[in-house]
A and B are shown apart, each in its own frame.
Chain A
Amino acid sequence: MAHVDWIALIIFVLLFGFITWLGFAAARWRRGDLNLLHEWGLGGRRFGTIVTWFLVGGDLYTAYSFIAVPALAFGAGATAFFAIPFTIVSYPFLFLFFPRLWNVCRKRGYITAADFVRGRFGNRWLALAVTITGIVATMPYIALQLVGIQVVVGALGISGSGLAADLPLIVAFIVLAAFTYSSGLRAPASIAIVKDVLIFFTAIYAIVLLPIKLGGFAKIFAQVPVQKILLAAPSAHSTGAYGAYATLALGSSFAVFLYPHAFTAIISASSGKAIRRNAVMLQGYSITLGVLALFGFFAIAAHLDQLPEFARGFRQFGNNFAVPALLLHSFPSWFVGIAFAAIGIGALVPAAIMSIAAASLYTRNIHREFINRKPTDLQEAQMAKWVSLVVKLGALAFILFVPTQYAIQLQLLGGIWIVQTVPAILLGACTAWFNSWALLAGWAVGTLVGTTMAVAAHLTPAYPLVLGGYTFPGYTAFYTLLLNLAVTIVLTLIFNAISARGASPDETLASDYQA
């Protein structure tokens, strides 16, 4: 066993104990009948502006992003900062589209995005495509949250062989599964508040003290190779790193709120107004993310990968070890305990919401649609609770038995898949003009071509598109969304031309979208 930092470990365990208690106690918060799916899975749509801020913030700015974005800065440099423009340009979409979606979901009793698509376009197969995309894109994401826990537990000095090595992760999983089962969305909503207090404390404390310890930003960046500080300037016949940076940010922004966990957390707000307020206030988190991205450069400046005490960690976790190593290197044990707990708890919040969202999707849009058309409310809620367990078990098995690299690659593919639901969900919030089979065809083409391009690009995000002698390296999700839209529009025009339009399949009314 490696050197164990007992003070850090005790603080870590105490904080974990506290949120475990909180997760169970949350069942009684804004009490509702947890045997109803919208109470268990949406917290009864009773979360006001502030709780929604914590919930969606904890959901989107995950432990994994707090580990992986600095890790990318540490390894690849400036390109990691794409996360900042990505979050900036994603909030207008939240502001403009989601109050409408919230209104229609509440008035029609929709719980998932696929419920909405089913009602709007009247096509169960399109809804099934949205459902499967959502579930498949979410699974590797849950697995990556567990990686966040794995890294901090490893950094605390807990190690062993065989089952003992994975024991902390299994314990964390059981805790997570149990309180999600019993409290539903109320559990991550309450834990998100604790997580944020810890994360903000960590980020502010570290961003003030670290530059002082390392001699100021000027000195830090003087130690970073120039090619890591800036994006590489494009060559004559290519948009180079510039195009990749911009399309990565823009392509991610279309789809981020369509992930089932994001959709669920947003729809659980108590009003469209709470969503609009959050589209403004949530941006505050981006500052935290930017600060943490800078930690990657601090880690370069401190030459952490050359220190013998961290060799093991870097060997085991790669660049993901950069932030834990930086904190261990720079701060006393009590602070390390708090910071690591913030990251670990930061993993439980999104993992809980993701499993709830995936469970709601299965229950509503697969089981109810194709297997048991008339479940009682109790059966429906019970089914969702069980599925949330299965989903988490799957994610745990994935992390224990499959190399982490596969989870990262699947998560990348998930981003390309989820963007293909933009026409049906996001544009569907504004218009029912699209033909549902055209939408399904666009989804299929986008998914297939996107997957092929990603594989051709060796499972990296940017595909080097060549047009007329120019190379446009860009985010595959962005290119394939354009293709998807083109197919959808052209086929809608064709289908509308060859068939006289019967009654509209749209069960929603224009007034459903207004407050």
Chain B
Amino acid sequence: MSRARNRRRGWSWWYLLFVLEFPAVLWPPFFNRIEPTWIGLPFFYWYQLLWVVLGVMIGAIVYFATQD
């Protein structure tokens, strides 16, 4: 019942997972550094590219958790 109501309102608590991405990639003090490097890439670059992969994973979790 509450699930049906939620679906009608179009809201799911799973959506809050998306919120994680915002501070992670929009707060440069977290990642504006060279060390640790990975295969020679400065942290700044591989950290943000890693978040592309994490973004896909978060999207996939939310997709499967909220599909009918």
| A interface residues (Cβ-Cβ under 8 A, vs B) | 78, 81, 84-85, 87-89, 91-92, 95-96, 100, 211, 216-221, 226, 229-231, 233, 241-242, 245-246, 249-250, 273, 276-277, 279-281, 283-284, 286-287, 290, 294, 430, 513-515
Contact = CB atoms under 8 A, between A and B. Distances in A.
B63 A290 contact: no
Given A91-B59, A287-B49, 11 more contacts: A88-B25, A218-B37, A221-B41, A229-B34, A230-B34, A233-B32, A249-B26, A280-B56, A280-B63, A283-B52, A514-B8
A216 B41 CA distance: 9
B29 A242 contact: yes
A96 B15 contact: yes
Contacts of A514: 7-8, 10
Contacts of A218: 37, 40
Interface residues of B, number: 35
Interface in B1-54: 7-8, 10, 15, 18, 21-22, 25-29, 32-34, 37, 39-42, 44-45, 48-49, 51-53
Contacts of A89: 21-22, 25-26
A85 B33 contact: no
Given A287-B49, A514-B8, A84 B25 contact: yes
A513 B53 CA distance: 30
A290 B25 CA distance: 14
Contacts of A87: 52
Given A242-B32, A287-B49, A514-B8, A276 B41 contact: no
A70 to B, nearest CB: 13
Contact of B25 (A229, A241, A249): A249
4 cross-chain pairs, A with B, having the tightest CB-CB distances, nearest first: A217-B40, A218-B40, A280-B59, A85-B25
Nearest to A239: B28
Contacts of B62: 95
Contact of B52 (A229, A287, A430): A287
Nearest to A429: B10
B21 A81 contact: no
